[in-house]
Chain A
Amino acid sequence: MSIGQLAGGRISPVARRVAQRDPLFIAAGVVMAAIVLLAVLGPLLTPYDPNQLYVGPVLSPPSVVHLMGTDDLGRDILSRVLAGGAASVFGPVVVVVLSTVLGSTVAILSAWYGGWVDAVLTRITEVVFAIPGLVLAILAVSMFGKGLIAPVLALSIAYLPVVSRLVRAGARSELGKPYMAALRIQGVGSLAISFRHLLPALLPAILAQSTIGFGYAMLDLAAISFLGLGAQPPTSDWGVMISSGQPSLLNGAPEQSLFPALLVVLTVLSVNILGARVTAWAERADA
């Protein structure tokens, strides 16, 4: 008899996964937890000052004193990876939170009022969808200057249509159900219905979308930093580190690019695995 059965089925989906020994889910969860921890505590754990030049020899391979080696300016790569985690992880978090809140608001307004409100809002989201996220972010950089703020805000807007399409479709079908009519007849206010009944019903789908969106946002923001338009050197943002390590690749010293690249790939990989599981859970919750 498994733990899930012992709990009589009333058990959170996460606990059930663990109980069913879904090794991929557990591994992805552990990696994700480690990355979040790294983003929060990383700056406190750096063995060296991440921006201090020549704390060791230039381009030294991994060793006991420098676990990930040193970069082309003799900085400790491990310290830079740890210090850069915050910007690399929290940037995408802001994008996901903003685009989810904005997109859900637009979608619920659309589904609630229908008619011309729906038509106008849908048309606006279609226009936003037509502008690729990378293009909108680059346009924002040329207006407001380099840095992470303009791209983060631009991507929050660029990701809005994906969220709003999903939530609008879900909200429309939910609003059409008999219990919604019952709530309205009882005189429950529109805000109360939206927040207490509609949003909770849509939450699994929104959560699944946010998880996947986080991966995309991380890739897009890292790409913008890689292009030199996002976080600026000497900041140890992972995208910046990958691009500034590029010349050293040809000198046979890949560590400076490779370690931050590995972290980006690991993060996105585990986010995708978690996202697939959350999506499956959302679909089951829907059925």
Chain B
Amino acid sequence: MTTGVLRRVLGKLGALLLTLFLASVVIYSAILLTPGDPVVALAGGVRPTPELIAVIKAEHHLDQPVWIQYLYWVGGVLTGDFGTSFVYKTPVVDLIGSRFGITLLLVLYTVLLIVVFGVGSGILAARRRGAAEKAVLVGTSVGVAMPTFVVAILLIFIFGRLLGWFPVFGAGEGLLDNLYHLTLPAISLSVLYIAYVSRITRGAIVAQAHSEHVDTARVRGIPSERIFRNHVFLNASPQILAISGTTIAGLFAVSAIAEQAFGIGGIGSLLTEAAARKDLPVVQILSLLLVALFVVLNAVVDVVIAFIDPDSARSRRTA
């Protein structure tokens, strides 16, 4: 690890913290931009009782200047105090804590599918010319037009009505049952991204395979399997990682659609439900959480890329 890499990692960290700070300001200011009385907005859009008004004013320090209110809020977030939902009448941290695990499991399952089938089919299409390549190209063209909610209704119809191999509602009990229940949701989330990652992978590999250093390696008589591993794929990997990283970082947010379709009680369905009930404190915390996950995961990808290829990482800006 060189000092150049270290400096760039520290620079990224600074940019990441600045982005998170500015994003938190934007998300906090939602209270100010909501039409009407902030107390009503924080109560969940219903006219609160005088007692509730006093509670909300005290909890959100509404008698203080705005920037003090913000500091209390962000200080609370940093110390694990996410405030109270006046719609659910529960601390927000409890609402999220009991639902985060299942969303995490769903996202990990989806990432596994994306990496195995996306990168796998991309490599297949790049290495085997002819029928396999054509099939992957046609499949991915259709795949990038297949959003989660469309795949979800197809799967619910096929498996729920016709075949019955997989459950189409809920998340089940226990890890194995969870995975069984999350299979269709994970497939519905992954199809579009498998297609996308597959196309990126194929493009990056084809571009590398035509480069001079690969020709040189071939002339030197290095076995083609080794050329692919050490020259083509390794050099294509930063581009593959960069684009699939950003995609995967956004999965925690997109998960809401699969959770809605399959009735899974994760943070995505909590976000949807809270937004429908205008429960601003819950939506704000979840938005901040999703932004933080997105930014941090992107930064992790950047660091990994910096290790593989210090040059290509320089041009990427995500934090």
**Is there a chain B Cβ closer than 8 Å to A245's Cβ?**
yes
Assess A223 versus B287: contact at CB under 8 Å? Given A126-B319, A127-B22, A134-B254. no
Binds B, one of A10-18, A175-183, A197-205, A250-258: A250-258
Interface size for chain A: under 10, 10 to 19, 20 to 34, or 35 or more residues? 35 or more
- Chain A nearest Cβ from B310, distance in angstroms: 22
Mark each residue of chain A from 106 to 140: 1 if its CB lies under 8 Å from any CB of chain B, else 0: 00000000000000000100110111101110110
Mark each residue of chain B from 21 to 57: 1 if its CB lies under 8 Å from any CB of chain A, else 0: 0110011001001110000010001000000000000
Verify A142–B278 contact, CB threshold 8 A: yes
Residues of B near A146 (CB, < 8 A) are 276
Assess A261 versus B287: contact at CB under 8 Å? Given A142-B280, A143-B30. no
CB < 8 Å: which of A126, A135, A250, A264 contacts B253?
A135
Give chain A's interface secondary structure class.
Answer: helix
Binds A, one of B59-67, B119-127, B146-154, B300-308: B146-154
CB < 8 Å: which of A130, A142, A261 contacts B291?
A130
Which B residue sits closest to A129, measured CB to CB? B318
Verify A261–B276 contact, CB threshold 8 A: no
Which A residue sits closest to B168, measured CB to CB? A250
Residues of B near A239 (CB, < 8 A) are 149
Q: Using a CB-CB cutoff of 8 Å, which residues 266-284 of chain A contact chain B?
A: 266, 268-269, 272-273
Verify A227–B257 contact, CB threshold 8 A: yes
Residues of A near B197 (CB, < 8 A) are none
Residues of B near A258 (CB, < 8 A) are 153, 157
Which A residue sits closest to B35, measured CB to CB? A144
Binds A, one of B97-105, B137-145, B232-240: B137-145
Verify B257–A245 contact, CB threshold 8 A: no
- Chain B nearest Cβ from A216, distance in angstroms: 10
Verify B156–A265 contact, CB threshold 8 A: no
29 contacts between A and B (CB under 8 A): A126-B19, A127-B19, A131-B26, A131-B291, A132-B250, A132-B254, A132-B291, A134-B256, A141-B275, A142-B283, A144-B35, A219-B147, A226-B261, A227-B272, A229-B272, A246-B153, A249-B156, A249-B157, A254-B153, A258-B157, A261-B149, A264-B147, A265-B145, A265-B147, A268-B144, A268-B145, A269-B145, A272-B144, A272-B145
Given contacts A126-B15, A134-B254, A265-B145, 6 further A-B contacts (CB under 8 A): A126-B319, A132-B253, A138-B271, A229-B272, A258-B153, A265-B142
Residues of chain A touching chain B, judged by Cβ–Cβ distance below 8 Å, are: 123, 126-127, 129-132, 134-136, 138-139, 141-146, 215, 219, 222-223, 226-229, 239, 242-243, 245-246, 249-252, 254, 257-258, 261, 264-266, 268-269, 272-273
